Structure 1
Amino acid sequence: MTTRTFLVHGLLAGLLAGVAAFVVAYTVGEPQVDRAIALESAGATADHHHEDEAAASGSVSHSHSHDDAAISRTTQSTLGLATGTLAIGVVLGGLTGLLAAVGLGRLGSLRPAASTGLVALLGAVSFSVVPFLKYPATPPAVGSGETIDSRTALWFGFVTVSVLGVLAAVAVARWAARRWSGVPGTIAGAAAYVVVVTVAALAFPKVDELGGFPASILWDFRISSLLTLLAMWAVIGAALTALVDRSWRRQAAVEAQRAYAAAL
């Protein structure tokens, strides 16, 4: 199988994953976003009420400007959400397909389907799950707008370390497998990754801008965000593995037919 085959399969798997992620995000995640926005709006209304009372008493001077949102909430939660999940799904699926092509034959004696599934699992853990544990998703009402750039930079930095860590872990696992055997090699690779991300988690600064945000809404929002990520990666892994396995079996059947014909 060629790299192009893996890429095409990855893009298709990513498209399916984007659809699945949209369904999960819309049904489970959007209600939590609405709750957070309602809470934020209630807080803003209360602030304006206090300011108006102060202005009426002559203690402050201010002016308000109420600007309508450029994109309605309905559009954000439907078309905007679908566009985002589909785009992310296709990108992640394509990258996973390319990495699966690179990993073919380099992950021990695993067949293409098993090798592809392992690559998808490592991608999910290193790119989404572990970074989520360090910097979990936060609702719209949480966090200052002045720190969004620094918070985004921290997340990207930790993701980079996590991905590089899993690549280093694979290299350690391959070396240890050649030196000892498969099981010790796997344990050594996993241990190497745990060490890298643990050191990184301790080194990277904490982000705590929750304030008095309700814990129940925060918990529900983060659970729904994690479910969306897991749905996307589960479909990428399952669909890509199935597509790769089908192509591999077809290619093996064709090669067997050619070998049989050549032997006649």
Structure 2
Amino acid sequence: MNSVNVRSLLVRGMLAGLAAGVLALIVAYLLGEPRVDAAIAYEDAHAAPGAPEMEIVSRSLQSTAGLATGVLLYGVALGGIAALAYCFALGRIGRFSPRATAALLSGVALVAVYVVPFLKYPANPPSVGDPETIGKRTTLYFLMMALSVLLAVAAVIVGKRIAPRLGTWYATVVAVLGFTVAVGLAYAFLPAINEVPEDFSATLLWQFRLAALAIQLTLWTSFGLLFGHLAERLLNPKPATATATAATTAVATPETSPETAASAH
């Protein structure tokens, strides 16, 4: 792939990421923020008596401009990185169209980057978790994410190598099963973390985690669809229709003048 296409795909990826970020922002504001407010209310109700802590950034600013800035920047960064990964994957993972490759890449990225780490270390609302273990929890989460991405890449490589012997279908099944077993082993060996207070609402916790999953699902799905459409238009432009071709030919060919027609007779 030449540098012009890479640059064009990078720009389209960032634009698609920005548009996907707008959709994810709507989901985050409608589904996520009410659960965050409920968790903060629980935290305030169970806080130790004394003077309340001063807010450096107000909650209203966090839930509006702060949320929008974070989600949109994340969408643009995600789009750029995913576009570069797309340039590498296109034509190397199978004979898929540009649109199908974008959809496949987005689905795999959603599973490897978010779903697999989420199932081991799910998102928690405010007031859940010990502040003294935040460093440990963050390290374990990103370690699980890195392992998941590496295992996904290894599964793709193994699937490609065994496909000539087993066929595409069985090679895919073997690669997926191998990925699942490896992830299961990682789940078993990495330490579990459960710091949810006993009296914290299980319903609120469940709703918050579903909202977090919905945000990521919206972001990756919309990005895959939007970027796939833009990549398809760039890499496989539609040919001119028969009508347009005929019209162009008619304009390019001068009409026969009456004198020419008369001389022909």
Q: How far apart are the structure 1 equivalents of 2:19 and 2:211? A: 19
Contact map agreement 2:102 2:225 (CA 8 A) in 1:
no
Deviating 4+ runs (over 6 angstroms): none
Specify the alignment match of 1:172 in structure 2. 158
Secondary structure at the aligned position of 1:162 is classed as: helix
Specify the alignment match of 2:45 in structure 1. 42
> TM-score, length-normalised on structure 2?
0.86
Q: What is the CA-CA distance between 1:249 and the residue it aligns to?
A: 2.2
The one-letter code sitting in structure 2 at the alignment partner of 1:162 is S
The one-letter code sitting in structure 2 at the alignment partner of 1:238 is L
> TM-score, length-normalised on structure 1?
0.86
Bigger shift: residues 103-112 or 33-42: 103-112
The one of 91, 97, 100 aligned to 2:86: 100
The one of 173, 193, 197 aligned to 1:207: 193
Q: What is the CA-CA distance between 1:6 and the residue it aligns to?
A: 2.0
2:20 is aligned with 1:13 = no
Contact map agreement 1:127 1:163 (CA 8 A) in 2:
yes
Specify the alignment match of 1:121 in structure 2. 107
Contact map agreement 1:112 1:248 (CA 8 A) in 2:
yes
2:29 is aligned with 1:26 = yes
Summarize deviations over 1:173-219 as a string: whole Å, max 9, x none: 10121222110111121112112211111111101000221101101
Q: Percent of counterpart pairs with the same letter?
A: 42
Secondary structure at the aligned position of 1:78 is classed as: helix
78 and 207 in structure 1: CA distance in 2 versus 1, 3 angstrom threshold: same
Matching of residues 1-264 of structure 1 within 5 Å: 2-44=5-47, 47-48=48-49, 64-212=50-198, 213-250=200-237, 253=239
Q: CA RMSD in A?
A: 1.4
For structure 2, the residue ranges without an aligned partner over 5 or more in a row are 241-265
Q: How far apart are the structure 2 equivalents of 1:184 and 1:191? A: 10
The one-letter code sitting in structure 1 at the alignment partner of 2:133 is T
Contact map agreement 1:172 1:192 (CA 8 A) in 2:
no
Q: How far apart are the structure 2 equivalents of 1:197 and 1:89? A: 26
Q: How far apart are the structure 2 equivalents of 1:117 and 1:230? A: 13
Q: What is the CA-CA distance between 1:253 and the residue it aligns to?
A: 4.1
Summarize deviations over 1:60-102 as a string: whole Å, max 9, x none: xxxx554320100000000000111111111111111111110
Secondary structure at the aligned position of 1:40 is classed as: helix
The one-letter code sitting in structure 2 at the alignment partner of 1:247 is L
Summarize deviations over 1:36-68 as a string: whole Å, max 9, x none: 000110011xx31xxxxxxxxxxxxxxx55432
Look at both structures and tell me which one has the larger radius of gyration over its CA atoms. Answer: 2
